[in-house]
Amino acid sequence: MERGVAKTWRSANARYNLTGVQCTNCKTAYFPPRMVCAKCGRDTKMVEKKFSGRGVIYSYTRIFVPPHDFTEEAPYTVAIIRLEEGPLVEGHLVDGKKPEIGASVRAVFRRMYTEGSEGLIHYHFKFEIV
């Protein structure tokens, strides 16, 4: 499925480098980036925060019936990762070790999907069990 080029371009730093935001008041970190802190509301400022990419598996599921863009990849595993800085982040697990809740992971750089044979290639962080 074709995504907007502008949207792809805007989110590159977040997708490549797991860059989110942090509230300067309560220090809560968020991914994906957001404009307003869920706890402090408008009366605070959000600043860019790069996450380490390290975390643990909070939950996971195996996808056998994928959306269109992931037909070639299925079956694959999607997990919710508790990053060491706090936020829960959804991400694909790369193949390899069997997933278990609580297993340690690190972020890696992978191809997420391609828009057919002539469209953009979308790169994204995924997680690898370490």
List residues near other proteins by CB under 8 A. Answer: 12-13, 16-17, 50, 71-73, 94-97, 108-112, 121, 123, 126
Give me the least distance between CB of 30 and other proteins, in Å please.
19
Closer Cβ to other proteins, 12 or 88, answer by number: 12
Shortest distance (Å) from residue 105 CB to other proteins: 13
Structure tokens at 11: 């989110």
Q: Give min distance, CB of 37 to other proteins, in A.
A: 24
Burial class of residue 122 (count of CB atoms within 10 Å of its CB; 0-12, 13-18, 19+): middle
Cα dihedral 11, 12, 15, 17 sign: negative
Closest to other proteins by CB, 22 or 37: 22
- 19-23: strand order across its sheet: 29-30, 19-23, 46-50
